[in-house]
Amino acid sequence: MEGKMSLTVADAVDYKGYPADRSRTGGWVSAALILVIEICERLSTMGIAVNLVTYLRGTMHIPSAASANIVTDFMGTSFLLCLLGGFLADSFMGRYTTIAIFAVVQALIVDVVMNQGTGTLAMTTSLPNLHPPPCEETTTHKCEPANGRQMGIFYLSLYLIALGTGGLKSSVSGFGTDQFDEEDEKEKTQMTFFFNRFFFFISTGTLLAVTILVYIQDEVGRTWAYGICSVTMFLAIMLFLSGTKRYRYKKSSGSPIVHILRVMVAAVSKRKLQIPSNVNFLYEDCAGAAIIPHTDQFRCLDKAAIVVEGDHEMNGPSTPNPWKLCSVTRVEEVKMMIKLLPIWATTIIFWTTFAQMITFSVEQASTMERSIGSFQIPAGSLTVFFVGAVLITLACYDRIVMPLWKKWKGKPGFNNLQRIAIGLLLSTVGMAAAALAEMKRLSVARSVGPTTTDTLPISVFLLIPQFFLVGAGEAFIYTGQLDFFITRSPKGMKTMSTGLFLTTLSLGFFVSSFLVAVVKNVTGTTRDGEGWLTTNINSGRLDCFYGLLAVLSFLNMGSFLVCASWYKPKEGGKGGGVEIVSVVGKSSGAEERC
């Protein structure tokens, strides 16, 4: 019996609902099948987003700043909808079903009943009555912008893609980590490498998007490019479904939002009560490894676990009313989620700088010399240097830094907070480099004539440092955030915490849109009504905007270091002791979770 039990994973089941057999389920094969979905999602989403600003400017005749905001709002909504996907996965459908359904939503093409996802976007770019007539804009002639109906259909297709993206992204990383058992040392080590390889795979999808897909969009046609997105997503869905018998499925413990609300309501209703001096008098209904030891932070929430008369009246004498009495473990789960928030808040600004790489940086590239011999590099493909930096950084970290760090320190690489700090530092330097590069580009534009629409006599490779620095920063911060939010959240809230992490991307894009709007309003009164961010960027001061982002990034990094030194992860084992982990401190590990 004991030998049989060792072959199964304690908290996972197979597709039939039986305890998952360790030798037949999970592991890297299952994780790889899940990662294929993410590769194709990234191919589709980034293939659209990275070249969308040039489509809006050149075909829909939307002004520069407005085009950038449309792209950042689309990306922001995609990641914000991860919260919806996480809620549905944790509360009702499970991660497997959520991934399958939302992947289909993203991939659906035009049919006789309705048009959804990428297929609709292919239609909007191929039918002439869905965009304004082509024209050549000059200083004396303005092109006719897209009308309300044309933009309405465009937005419908774009945000249906956002719905599919948000739904599946919230569950992919969580379902991938479900394939590894943290109680098994070998599989726990494999999961340590999963976060880096997960991001390496999706960066590969981005690389394909900004090279092959962008080239097809510019040289063959957007309809073909978006059609490829649909076909590849359908193939990925088939491959994902083929692994159904191999996956491990973790049981949902119910809606994490409801659990959080119950603790909050119970704590507020008992706010006038005194917390017992001995925490053993607080209510606990979990047992064994499921118990999360009590901590002293946010002690006001401990009042939700104080037993008083009337706590059991709704559900009988043996079962308490969950809206009146919560266990210490449930209270500690809420504390764990609250402790994530300062780190969450101080990583948002990175994604604001990231947004510039697929908006204004692409527009910069469109004005510069991009020829290599007779080959003209598409402006959107300049982000290949950004993605290349991500892949090179991940490969070097995975194959060089982690093994060396393990030999030197006995730990597999930097901990998650250290990686986030490195990412914030690199992005700050990247924005400073972007400001300097733009100053050089503007000096050339002024010498030629700021109103010119001709290609400036300056190489586009001047932009490589900003792409490389922010790209390397993303490699560190994305894997660090993903590791932090998954390993530092309660087991039953893993998908929700992934959604919380992805909202930092969402809010970063929305902050970018907000900053663009504010800068245009504030500076527009001093420079012919347009200010720093003009329709023709040769007449503006994009370098000042980048400088502003560099200053904000520097201030934000200081805030992160303060929050990181405050953060106290729970140590496993009895007693519930805590230890402050600084950005230069210990390597993180999986904590005891319910």
Contact 507, 350 (CB under 8 A): no
Q: What is the pLDDT of residue 404?
A: 82
Least reliable range by pLDDT among 31-45, 295-309, 465-479, 528-542? 528-542
Is a pLDDT exceeding 60 seen at residue 63? yes
Distance CA 275, CA 299 (A): 8
Distance CA 583, CA 343 (A): 12
Nearest residue to 349 (alpha-carbon basis) of 508, 484, 476: 508
Q: What is the pLDDT of residue 124?
A: 52
Other CB atoms within 10 A of residue 300 CB: 11
Other CB atoms within 10 A of residue 288 CB: 5
Total H helices, total E strands in the chain: 21, 7
Nearest residue to 362 (alpha-carbon basis) of 583, 57, 103, 573: 57
Is a pLDDT exceeding 60 seen at residue 427? yes
Name which residue leads in pLDDT, 109 or 427: 427
For the entire predicted model, the pTM comes to: 0.71
Other CB atoms within 10 A of residue 111 CB: 9
Amino acid identity, position 457:
P
What share of the chain in percent tops pLDDT 70?
84
Report which DSSP code applies to 122. H
Residue ranges covered by each domain of the chain: 17-250, 256-336
Q: What is the pLDDT of residue 487?
A: 81
Q: Mean of the pLDDT values across residues 551-558? A: 95
Q: What is the pLDDT of residue 556?
A: 95
Amino acid identity, position 498:
T
Residue 60 β-bridge partners: none
Amino acid identity, position 395:
A
Q: What is the pLDDT of residue 349?
A: 93
Mean pLDDT of the chain: 78
Nearest residue to 28 (alpha-carbon basis) of 194, 232, 199, 239: 194
Tokens found for residue 287: 């047992």
Q: What is the pLDDT of residue 568?
A: 59
Is a pLDDT exceeding 90 seen at residue 550? yes
Q: What is the pLDDT of residue 191?
A: 75
Distance CA 158, CA 89 (A): 23
Q: How far is CA 288 from the centre of its chain?
A: 34
User: How sure is the predictor about 425, in pLDDT bands with cuts at 50, 70 and 90?
Assistant: very high
Q: Mean of the pLDDT values across residues 513-524? A: 84
pLDDT tens, residue by residue, 281-323:
888 887 666 778 888 888 889 888 888 887 776 555 567 888 8
Name which residue leads in pLDDT, 38 or 127: 38
Is a pLDDT exceeding 50 seen at residue 64? yes
User: How sure is the predictor about 569, in pLDDT bands with cuts at 50, 70 and 90?
Assistant: low
Look at the chain and count its residues.
Answer: 594
Q: What is the pLDDT of residue 295?
A: 84
User: What Rg, from alpha-carbon coordinates, does the chain have?
Assistant: 26
User: How sure is the predictor about 140, in pLDDT bands with cuts at 50, 70 and 90?
Assistant: low
Q: What is the pLDDT of residue 133?
A: 72
Instruction: Please report where in the chains the tokens 């919230």 appear, as a residue.
Output: 170
Q: How many CA atoms lie within 13 A of 351 on its CB side?
A: 25
**CATH of region 17-250, choose from 3.20.20.10, 1.10.1740.10, 3.30.530.20, 1.20.1250.20:** 1.20.1250.20
Q: What is the pLDDT of residue 347?
A: 92
Least reliable range by pLDDT among 24-33, 105-114, 272-281? 105-114
Q: What is the pLDDT of residue 112?
A: 27
Distance CA 82, CA 163 (A): 8
User: How sure is the predictor about 130, in pLDDT bands with cuts at 50, 70 and 90?
Assistant: low
pLDDT tens, residue by residue, 363-415:
888 888 887 777 777 776 777 788 888 888 888 887 888 778 777 777 767 88
Q: What is the pLDDT of residue 429?
A: 95
Least reliable range by pLDDT among 84-88, 97-101, 237-241? 84-88
